[in-house]
Chain A
Amino acid sequence: MYKVRLWCIKRSRLLETVYLVTKPAIVLGLNAAKKVFGRFLDRPVIVVERSIKGFLFDCQMCGDCVLSKTGMSCPMNCPKNIRNGPCGGVRENGMCEVKPDMLCVWVGAWDGASRMKDGGGIGNLQPALDHRSKGTSSWLKLTEKRSGDE
């Protein structure tokens, strides 16, 4: 939901803390559940992830979540799917050039990042998206990463 999405950008610091605090527990829990349920875990996790992140961020389930690096503003809501934004067309009032009623996703992203403890991550170059990941769970992906990956 658009309003919730804006609220999340304003609370980027809080959400970052929630993410950092709960991440180890979620990864542990998912790892344990994976041992029991194996691949059967995918579907329910995707459903839960989609509902929660969909509600909060209008998440599009790109499968390679970068919210913690983009000020809690989901880049897949940018009509040009820009993952290193913004484009040059942002309106003077900060709204999107393509959707005049929507705050530019990247104006939101830089704003959100400015409040985060680790907001500097927005300066990282995001590689081109692997479109095969669409619809898969970024949470499950976290369990595959070794600690040195991030």
Chain B
Amino acid sequence: MNKNVIEMDRDIIDPTAPLPKLEGHVSHTRFERVLRAGQFAVTTEIAPPDSADPAEVVRRADLFSGVVDAINATDGSGANCHMSSLGVCAILTKNGYSPIIQMSCRDRNRIAIQGDVLGAAAIGVGSVLCLSGDDVSVGDHPEAKPVFDLDSISLIKTIKTMRDKGQFLSGRKLDKPPSQFIGSTINPFAPPLKNRVDQLAKKIDAGAEFIQTQYCFDIEMLQSFMTQAVDKGLTERAFILVGTGPLASARTARWLRKNIPGIHIPDAIVDRLEGAENPRLEGRKICIELMARIKEIEGVKGVHVMAYKQEIHVKSIILESKVLGDRQPWARSNPKVFRN
């Protein structure tokens, strides 16, 4: 019997069984395999439901089946309360998806966070994204106590210490260290623009192995940031995935610009949406065009598609952008596609 059939059987019987960790890899994830194999990676994010229903998580994830290499589970994004990222990741893992658990410093101190890192590793979550997190004041519980015991960089360092030194921040030894692919974020489009690349360097020095950026709507700005990153050799030390997503209308674009700090949308894009007959369609077209251009920029290793409330369009956006080439990522519904 050939090996593929065995692989196939295993996929059907137990899609959650971890893949073997390859030589030189830090985790067992498909996501890390795709990146280290030099392929252009595509990730997206799932909006965790306001619900205790696991089927809802699977339903939302299935929208991305076969077009993405990993799915980010957001951690109370916008400081709004939803199902926890650990819970979402447990369900995703159980269904064969390769999740990236987002960990923000807003809600938990170092004791809780390190516990969650171990918990996530134990259930097979092999990628983790370290963020500082939005402030509680912008969310639905502005009266909550903000924690911010760590910041994104000390969080990266903490997880790296656990993984590579096999110990907690306190120095206490771990019996079995977690093996996670460590990531973080960067916003190349917010001040101080000339220091954003220094901030990136700090994150990589701390231990970030992959980076997902804020939404990119401005190719020139991205280009200048990436040129600096390439010049400093940073793109050799970490995989950079550029954030992208469809805008629903000129009004949404203006609202985002005004209300979500850190999102930069040039006037040209807003005008284009304004003038369009079907703004939603135009928004997706812009996103598709941007993705194709982002892929051409030196040093970019993938895209991260964030399509809040437009998740049903993610698949067609990715396919139409052709960024995957002829590669098809693992699909849950199609057991014939292997998890490579």
Given A125-B157, A127-B157, the answer on whether A97 and B191 have CB atoms closer than 8 Å is no
Instruction: Decide yes or no whether A81 CB sits under 8 A from chain B.
Output: yes
A-B pair count, CB < 8 Å, reads 102
Instruction: Decide yes or no whether A80 CB sits under 8 A from chain B.
Output: yes
Given A97-B135, A97-B262, the answer on whether A128 and B169 have CB atoms closer than 8 Å is yes
B150, A128: Cβ atoms closer than 8 Å = yes
The CA-CA distance from A86 to B194 in the complex, in Å, is 12
Given A97-B135, A125-B206, the answer on whether A89 and B262 have CB atoms closer than 8 Å is yes
Q: What size tier do the contact residues of chain B reach?
A: 35 or more
Most chain B CB within a 10 A radius of its CB, from A82, A83, A88, A104: A88
B261, A97: Cβ atoms closer than 8 Å = yes
Output the least CB separation between B100 and chain A (Å): 17
B206, A94: Cβ atoms closer than 8 Å = no
| Chain A 74-90 interface 0/1 with B at a Cβ cutoff of 8 Å (1 = within) | 00000111111111111
Given A123-B198, A125-B157, the answer on whether A86 and B192 have CB atoms closer than 8 Å is yes
B202, A92: Cβ atoms closer than 8 Å = no
Instruction: Please give, as numbers and ranges, the residues of chain A lying within 8 Å of B137 by CB-CB distance.
Output: 79, 98
A128, B192: Cβ atoms closer than 8 Å = no
Query: DSSP majority for the A interface?
Result: loop
The CA-CA distance from A89 to B137 in the complex, in Å, is 13
Instruction: Decide yes or no whether A91 CB sits under 8 A from chain B.
Output: yes
The CA-CA distance from A80 to B105 in the complex, in Å, is 9
Output the least CB separation between B256 and chain A (Å): 12
Instruction: Decide yes or no whether B201 CB sits under 8 A from chain A.
Output: yes
Instruction: Please give, as numbers and ranges, the residues of chain A lying within 8 Å of B106 by CB-CB distance.
Output: 80
Interface residues of chain B, those whose CB is within 8 Å of chain A, are 105-106, 110, 132-135, 137-138, 146, 148-154, 157-158, 169, 185-187, 190-192, 194-195, 198-199, 201-202, 205-206, 214, 261-262, 264
Interface residues of chain A, those whose CB is within 8 Å of chain B, are 79-94, 97-98, 104, 106-107, 110-111, 122-123, 125-128, 131
